Amino acid sequence: MFDNLSERLERSFKILKGEGKITEINVAETLKDVRRALLDADVNYKVAKTFTDTVKQKALGQNVLTAVRPSQLMVKIVHDELAELMGGETAELNLSGHPTVILMAGLNGAGKTTLSGKLALMLKSKKRKNPLLAACDIYRPAAIDQLKVLGEQIGIPVYSEPENKDAVQIAQNAIKEAKSRGYDTVIVDTAGRLAVDEQMMQEIAAIKEAIQPTETLFVVDAMTGQDAVNTAKEFNDRLDFDGVVLTKLDGDTRGGAALSIRTVVNKPIKFVGTGEKMEAIDQFHPSRMADRILGMGDIVSLVEKAQEQYDEEEARRLQKKIAKNQFDFNDFMAQIQQIKKMGNLKD
């Protein structure tokens, strides 16, 4: 997703290659290129300006160590500032409450329904939760059916009232159902809405008021670019949500929304959707994302993915087989399948 930005930033740092020290002239030249790269990536222009000003301030105040070249130091400063721009710390999901209630809100077509399913599966498999999905999109044809199909795929029950046209009541009933049947988490999928549609905005505000969610997540399509930031601001003014989820991060987008949204609404990005499969949801780590943008690769996430697929017992068994020279093609195939479970190699 950030390929274009990564290339442009790399080119910017080349200006400093071969320079003996950081000076006002070469910093200004590098940062002019960095700012242009950020604007091309659809980053909010105010955010881009503040970002380059901060980097300049820090770079000029630095003494270059003899072991570190100016270009390397510049990459480090830009990396730290990028991570800070996207929130600095990794934001955890608040799972308190009995049950925990998570309200999903956002525009039409942002991918809320699929994201609700992905989040439910992640909470079930990684956090040992017992979630219930609540279908509160009463407007889009087949929205309830879509959630039911997803629920069946991942083995998570879906609460729905197809005949009821009161989204607030359905959400309240879903929570009652969760309490009576022992579900510890309720994920409420709502209809997509525009921030200018007053009636729909009142409805989502009423749902939030009625169910008092533990977490309100604003789901935004990363491909919307700069407009995503404006929409997030309008939704936040009305809903005061707790965090942002970026979907379609695997798309061929310029990624500026991810860099701007945190600064503009001052709410953390908590998750990112990274593909179409139900397992394709990751917690958002600002410093790892900065690594990826600067072409360093997100090795930590790769290791975590490998650990999820890694079976310690199986590894011990294979070690013994290899030691006894009994490793055969079936074992080799099992190993290949484990690697395949990690997803696409180009990721």
Q: Enumerate long-range contacts of 29-37, CB under 8 Å, 24 or more apart.
A: 30/74, 31/55, 31/56, 33/8, 34/9, 34/78, 36/8, 37/5, 37/8, 37/9, 37/11, 37/12
pLDDT at 158 (0 to 100): 92
User: All domains of the chain, ordered by start, with CATH?
Assistant: 3-85 (1.20.120.140), 100-284 (3.40.50.300), 310-341 (no CATH)
DSSP class of 160: -
2, pLDDT greater than 70: no
| Residues 264-302: tens digit of each pLDDT | 888 888 888 887 888 888 888 888 777 777 766 555 566
Task: Give the C-alpha separation, 171 to 213, whole Å.
Answer: 10
For residues 156 and 254, which has the higher predicted lDDT (pLDDT)? 156
β-strands 185-190, 243-247 pairing: unpaired
pLDDT at 33 (0 to 100): 81
Residue 271 Cα distances to 76, 186, 280, angstroms: 25, 17, 10
pLDDT at 332 (0 to 100): 87
- Helices within the chain (DSSP H only): 3-14, 24-40, 45-60, 70-85, 112-126, 143-154, 167-181, 198-211, 226-239, 256-265, 286-293, 299-309, 312-323, 329-341
DSSP class of 42: T
For residues 327 and 15, which has the higher predicted lDDT (pLDDT)? 327
Q: Which residues pair with 283 in a beta bridge?
A: 271
Average pLDDT over residues 241-252: 79
pLDDT at 91 (0 to 100): 81
For residues 113 and 36, which has the higher predicted lDDT (pLDDT)? 113
| Residues 169-227: tens digit of each pLDDT | 999 999 999 999 989 899 999 998 888 888 998 999 999 999 899 999 998 887 776 77
252, pLDDT greater than 70: no
| pLDDT band per the 50, 70, 90 thresholds, residue 56 | confident
pTM of the full predicted structure?
A: 0.74
Residue 243 Cα distances to 105, 183, 189, 221, angstroms: 11, 23, 16, 14
Average pLDDT over residues 131-144: 88
For residues 147 and 58, which has the higher predicted lDDT (pLDDT)? 147
Average pLDDT over residues 61-83: 68
Structure tokens given for 196 = 């200018």
9, pLDDT greater than 50: yes
| pLDDT band per the 50, 70, 90 thresholds, residue 309 | low
pLDDT at 148 (0 to 100): 92
pLDDT at 66 (0 to 100): 46
Residue % of the chain over a pLDDT of 70 = 81
For residues 106 and 256, which has the higher predicted lDDT (pLDDT)? 106
pLDDT at 301 (0 to 100): 60
| pLDDT band per the 50, 70, 90 thresholds, residue 57 | confident
For residues 213 and 8, which has the higher predicted lDDT (pLDDT)? 213
| pLDDT band per the 50, 70, 90 thresholds, residue 67 | very low
Mean model confidence pLDDT for the chain: 81
Among 43-57, 103-117, 302-316, the least confident range: 302-316
